[in-house]
């Protein structure tokens, strides 16, 4: 986060507000379908920003699963056509309307609102839809900060009161959210147990997640027989995160402590969340759901939201939080990147980021 100073009114009137019309290249779609089929690179001339509007140059914008699902028409957020794809980005302020008081040309900003359409070289947004971030925050970290790190942050903060030394357990531990959970747990002195699918390069995967902050990484087979908690090596987890569902979620619930809570934020297996009867009755465990988009809408101006961004940015600047493994790709390679995002199955997964800087 960075402190901002408003430019003097007379300085604004000397040319910082006005800007030659900009030609934006945007990935637009007019119907639902596969990204490779329905996205088209379209040029649009943008007018100067007025009143509380801000003209920005997009520097980097990631391709998230939710972005793909939105284009396919499978996500709860339904855009109005024609729509520009993308929800996350980091951008540079080019010029501002004469009623903008909190942003200056040259600042880096990230979107506070979903559905703005960020897969574009330039855009005009409202001032209240943007948040300034320090230029010391790397492009990849800034471009990906508003979804996955925030999801991890809120799930760790909002469901169970955790103390240093407490344990959190999660499946899908190599996902972008999972990697964020490991890093936040390390920063907050929590123990993080991650569960992943077995694979040939499992040793490399475990090592990478442990470097991020995971205390222990188990395969789905190992978690069925582990004595980590019965032996007292680690405290029984009070909090669990599930992004898989099915049998994976069931196995996680068996390790929850009395009164523990499982938070589901995804369903990669497309199987329902099931629970063994014993833990449900005798441990009185509970189940909750979490959707970052809903939380952001309900807490748009809440102090807790700004504090969250402040803490996350500080961790990035302190090099205690890094972006997931990623690849920067040029905008004109969007079809290849979108296709790869749907099919890539590397041992940690890879996030593709459209590089427009």
Predicted pLDDT at 8? 42
Provide the 10 A C-beta neighbour count for residue 2.
12
The pair phi, psi for residue 292, each rounded to 5°, is -60, -40
> Which residue in the list 29, 32, 75, 300 is annotated as catalytic?
75
Predicted pLDDT at 349? 66
Read off the pLDDT of each residue in 192-217 and give the average, rounded to a whole number.
Answer: 96
pLDDT in tens, 153-204: 999 999 999 999 999 999 999 999 999 999 999 999 999 999 999 999 999 9
The full set of domains in the chain, from first to last, is 9-144+323-355 (3.90.180.10), 148-292 (3.40.50.720)
Q: CB within 8 A of 27, min separation 6: which ones?
A: 39, 40, 41, 42, 84, 85, 86, 119, 120, 331, 334
Per-residue pLDDT for 14 more than 80?
no
Environment class of 253 (CB within 10 Å of its CB; exposed 0-12, middle 13-18, buried 19+): buried
Tokens encoding 73: 């028409």
* Cα distance between the two ends of the chain: 21
Predicted pLDDT at 338? 84
Enclosing H/E stretch for 206: helix 202-212
Residue/partner pairs of 204-208 with CB below 8 Å, 24 or more apart: 204/347, 205/174, 205/347, 205/348, 208/348
How does strand 53-63 pair with strand 90-96?
antiparallel
Distance (Å, whole) CA 226 – CA 249: 16
Predicted pLDDT at 339? 83
pLDDT in tens, 321-356: 999 999 999 999 998 888 887 765 433 468 999 999
Query: What's the chain's average pLDDT?
Result: 92
pLDDT in tens, 269-284: 889 998 889 989 999 9
Distance (Å, whole) CA 330 – CA 336: 10
Predicted pLDDT at 1? 43
pLDDT in tens, 98-109: 999 999 999 999
In the annotation, is 75 catalytic? yes
Higher pLDDT, 94 or 12: 94
Predicted pLDDT at 276? 87
Predicted pLDDT at 275? 87
Predicted pLDDT at 2? 40
């Amino acid at each position: 986060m960075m402190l901002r100073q408003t430019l003097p009114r007379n300085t604004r009137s000397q040319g910082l507000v006005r800007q030659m019309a900009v030609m934006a290249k945007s990935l637009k779609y007019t119907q639902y379908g596969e990204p490779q089929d329905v996205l088209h690179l379209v040029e649009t001339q943008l007018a100067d920003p007025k009143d509380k509007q801000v003209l920005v140059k997009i520097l980097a914008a990631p391709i998230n699963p939710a972005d793909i699902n939105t284009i396919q028409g499978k996500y709860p957020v339904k855009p109005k056509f024609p729509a520009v794809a993308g929800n996350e980005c980091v951008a540079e302020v080019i010029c501002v309307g004469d009623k903008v008081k909190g942003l200056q040309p040259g600042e880096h900003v990230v979107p506070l609102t979903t559905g703005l359409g960020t897969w574009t070289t330039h855009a005009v947004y409202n001032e209240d839809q943007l948040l300034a971030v320090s230029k010391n925050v790397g492009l990849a970290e800034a471009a990906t900060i508003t979804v996955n790190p925030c999801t991890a942050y809120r799930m760790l903060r909002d469901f169970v009161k955790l103390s240093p030394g407490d344990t959190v357990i999660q499946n899908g531990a190599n996902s972008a959210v999972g990697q964020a959970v490991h890093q936040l747990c390390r920063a907050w002195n929590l123990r993080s147990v991650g569960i992943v699918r077995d694979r040939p390069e499992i040793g490399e995967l475990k090592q990478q997640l442990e470097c991020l902050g995971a205390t222990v990484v188990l395969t789905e087979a190992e978690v069925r027989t582990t004595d980590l908690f019965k032996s007292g090596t680690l405290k029984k987890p009070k909090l669990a995160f599930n992004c898989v569902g099915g049998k994976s979620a069931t196995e996680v619930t068996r390790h929850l402590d009395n009164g523990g809570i499982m938070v589901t934020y995804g369903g990669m297996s497309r199987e329902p969340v099931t629970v063994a009867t014993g833990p449900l009755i005798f441990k009185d465990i509970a189940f909750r759901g979490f959707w970052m988009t809903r939380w952001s809408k309900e807490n748009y101006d809440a102090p807790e939201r700004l504090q969250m961004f402040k803490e996350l940015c500080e961790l990035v600047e302190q090099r205690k939080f890094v972006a997931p493994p990623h690849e920067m790709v040029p905008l004109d390679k969007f079809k290849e990147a979108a296709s790869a995002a749907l099919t890539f199955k590397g041992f940690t997964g890879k996030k593709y980021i459209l590089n427009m800087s």
